[in-house]
Structure 1
């Protein structure tokens, strides 16, 4: 009798805080048909990236479940919108404290799905309290009604109001699954909307935990709904029933979302891809540039929309810059590891599937003549989705990495001779999300920044300074997106601007029996008078 040997599967290495009971409680928050229901979809196996082990089952929503989520959120939104803003903000005062208190658990859940380092996971957990804190300070000013002048002083007035749109669809990515899911939802909620959130299946646990914390802080039951599933399966229903869509992801998918929103005549905000450049001028302090470049390129293993993929270095310092960058990348690779502590400084990619995409870009460049100075290899000895920090030179336009977003720990370095050449090369892309300029001369760096085509431009930093400035909008130009998050616009986009005009006396109506040419002369004289006196 023959026997078949069964090899044990990988074993998860979860922190003690992450229990089966916690995971089961979080997945129960998903609006989906019960697993024992006749119409239930197969659950999604949630994987611990470090080991490839399954840690739980994520229910998958059907289109009918998405409709049910909207129905629940709309019912709760009517009450929520009636609350005074002060009462809504009190919920987020409590949420801020809960989020800070639970940052370690948030970091655990982020790491399970993403495989990023502990430092990056903790820093990501801090993004949401920062956004909450900003809008706690500014929401009253931004959302209050504003009295404007009417067309005829004294006799008319106009008042601008900002009313919630209704229920907002938030489609969040896997690379910063907690920060983006919650930081995009918070201003929508503060403005008085309900939210239906679709996190990525791979990284849903941390987003679900954030939703649970907001509910504990006092959000009305049903207001914040979560649906899970693949985009093609539930995306159309999600968008068709929304009053506004906030999407973060690839440019290709962003076009689909934007087209769907347009057909429904609803607004959308899209943060999409990038091929972000860095310019290093000859006077730059390399002692500062190299650590900045390492973080700008390799933070989160290169899986950040705003991370640097192209570096242009003045020819006078190019060789020295390259030598130092290669050494720093080599040192970084030595710290690669899979752990829920602060020992590793370089983490995993999100999945073996994404690793294959990153590796394909590097292999294509290598095959076409690029030089791999460091990295360029997967590290299955550490985990199933680890890939080395990689520095390329001799990259030419026919290579995929030259123009396409690799979204991994890979950077190409090029020499340049003068500023205008560097600016031209930096702008030579269909994307325009982020750019970086390094120089001791801030005026010179500022002049160059003024010519770069990007929604965020950082001087003597890779991307953190602009993104962490919650008072200023963050978004892309060209093919990198539409709209922005953060700042006043990041709150107002979730509202409809309403104009209430009041005419105290009928001064705008045509006078009965008066010839129109006389009315016209009076109107034109009035316009000239108001301009001379600056009344209007």
Structure 2
């Protein structure tokens, strides 16, 4: 794409075609034509990226592997300082990053801010807490006083990260940050729809002091680049659909490497009779319609105790109808665009099928080409057929169903009636009861009186799914330990733990039995 043919949308940003071409030039691959990247704001092509193949992935992993050997030897405090500087740079350049994020995704700027701010938060957490997580840990030995044991950790080597298009800024690097702190190198494969924000972040990491080659970026089609990456790295972190996640896990298993998978969700929200309905309505709007509903943590099923059902609907519908839609590069609009035509078709078909099956549309339900080519109104459905796709499958758009339930037990049963288990929320004036209800919901994260932010932003706590929503966890110590290989070092002060010369086997067995009994009692006292 020539610089003279830059689409008019660039005039509303701090971006230029030259800037995007510079970012694409960071990828060490030469391919004729490449892959076109289009903005959902106008559906114009904004630039092209290299269409990498297996040989390109092989070269990127080898460069990363060579760089990792030196990076691992850098003291952990120095690695942490690099991440601190990176977080500072993200904050400093946030407006430029937001322009690029909006251009690639079409999300509203106010929703983009959540994504941008998550990166320095995660950087600071692992820079401050991470070094202590990497320290040697003393463990109990086989025989008290006579032996001891300690656990040391090593980086796994080269980590492959496959990032999605819906949160391409935070999910490109928040999985990479703990991997880098642990002394690993990273090869990042961003989604081909949203590659430039990942490339901009890679540039900032190098500016912060990350040595060349420690973070490599490869672009291209998922079916080509993904398998090639999994076959060459030592660990893979994937965020995306459940269907693709199964394929990733199968291939990782064949290669005997570890993997973490954050996959789809059909997240429930429970509103109890004593809840503050205005707060619950605001929470439902925030949860269901952030990023136009293209959020793996978004509630798509709301269950309300029937005594408050109508009141909740009034509050929820009223708040939803006050939302504004727009694609401006400013903080005004509440809701932006879907990513592309395929996602719009999915949303439209889910709603159309639901209506054909008897559902009522209380708000929204329309494509809005007057706002943007892929914009769709925030939509509230009731009377949804439990067997319809909108009730069972992840819509991944601004669509939510609301259903009355008889009591708390019925709400919990309905919430758990899904193969997914990523995120849920409970709304009640009695926070302790909310916690008790949360314990009974089969999800990796459950928020009380918040849709998802309280859980997601708790970076010291693990985040991930159960069932069809994935394996492993990001955030917290768990998000770092997945990138480590533990080693046990055991020391005996007595030499070989075997019968000494001249001691009959029967006597040695009695000694071992006595020591075992003593150890069991000691463990009980401790």
**Alignment TM class, shorter chain as reference:** over 0.9
Residue 460 (structure 2) pairs with residue 471 (structure 1)? yes
Answer whether contact 1:31 1:225 (CA < 8 A) is retained.
no
User: Which one of the candidate residues 17, 21, 27 is aligned to 1:20?
Assistant: 17
Pairing of 1:225-374 with structure 2 (within 5 A): 225-332=216-323, 335-374=324-363
Structure 2 unaligned residues grouped into runs of 5+: none
- Paired residues for 1:28-427 under 5 Å: 28-32=25-29, 34=30, 40=31, 42-332=33-323, 335-427=324-416
What SS does the corresponding residue of 1:349 show, helix, strand or coil?
coil
- Consecutive aligned runs of 4 or more in structure 1 exceeding 6 Å deviation: none
Q: Secondary structure at the match of 1:203?
A: coil
Counterparts in 2 of 1:215 and 1:9: CA distance versus 1, 3 Å? closer
User: 2: CA distance between counterparts of 1:50 and 1:359?
Assistant: 18
Give the 3 Å change call, closer, same or farther, for CA 228–533 of structure 1 in structure 2. closer
Alpha-carbon distance change, 16 to 373 in structure 1, aligned in 2, over 3 angstroms: closer
Shift of 1:513: 4.6
**d(CA) in 1 for partners of 2:215 and 2:24?**
14
Alpha-carbon separation, structure 2, partners of 1:15 and 1:223: 34
Deviation at 1:533, TM superposition (A): 4.3
Q: Structure 2 length normalisation: TM-score?
A: 0.97
Flag the 1:9–1:369 CA change in 2: closer, same or farther, 3 A. farther
User: Any idea what SS the aligned residue of 1:475 has?
Assistant: coil
The alignment partner of 2:287 has SS state of helix
Q: Secondary structure of the equivalent of 2:289?
A: helix
Checking the alignment, whether the CA contact within 8 Å between 2:241 and 2:263 is kept in structure 1 is yes
CA distance in 2, matches of 1:113, 1:16: 12
1:256 positional shift:
0.3
Over 3 Å counting, the alpha-carbon distance change for 1:9 and 1:82 in structure 2 is: closer
Note if 1:481 corresponds to 2:470: yes
Residues 43-72 of structure 1 deviation map (CA, whole Å, 9 limit, x = unaligned): 111112111111111111110000000010
Residue 3 of structure 1 corresponds to which residue in structure 2? none
Equivalent-residue separation in structure 1 for 2:384 and 2:277 (angstroms): 23
Residues in 2 aligned to 1:11 and 1:308: alpha-carbon distance in whole angstroms: 36
SS at match of 1:56: strand
How much has 1:328 moved relative to structure 2? Answer: 1.8
- Deviation track 1:435-481 (CA, whole Å, cap 9, x = no partner) reads 11000011221111111110000000000100000000000011111
Q: Classify the secondary structure of the residue corresponding to 1:473.
A: coil
Structure 1 stretches lacking a partner, 5+ long:
1-7, 35-39
Give the length in aligned residue pairs.
521
Please list the CA deviations of residues 91-143 of structure 1 after superposition, one character each: whole Å capped at 9, or x if unmatched.
Answer: 11211211110111111111111100011112211111000111112112111
Q: Go from structure 1 to structure 2 and tell me whether the alpha carbon gap of 1:137 and 1:348 turns closer, same or farther (over 3 Å shift).
A: same
What is the SS of the residue equivalent to 1:158? strand
Per-residue deviation at 1:213? 0.1
Coordinate RMSD, CA, aligned: 1.5
TM-score under structure 1 normalisation? 0.95
Query: Deviation of residue 303 (structure 1)?
Result: 0.6
Instruction: Look up the SS of the partner of 1:316 in the other structure.
Output: helix
Distance 2:499 2:369 in 1: 81
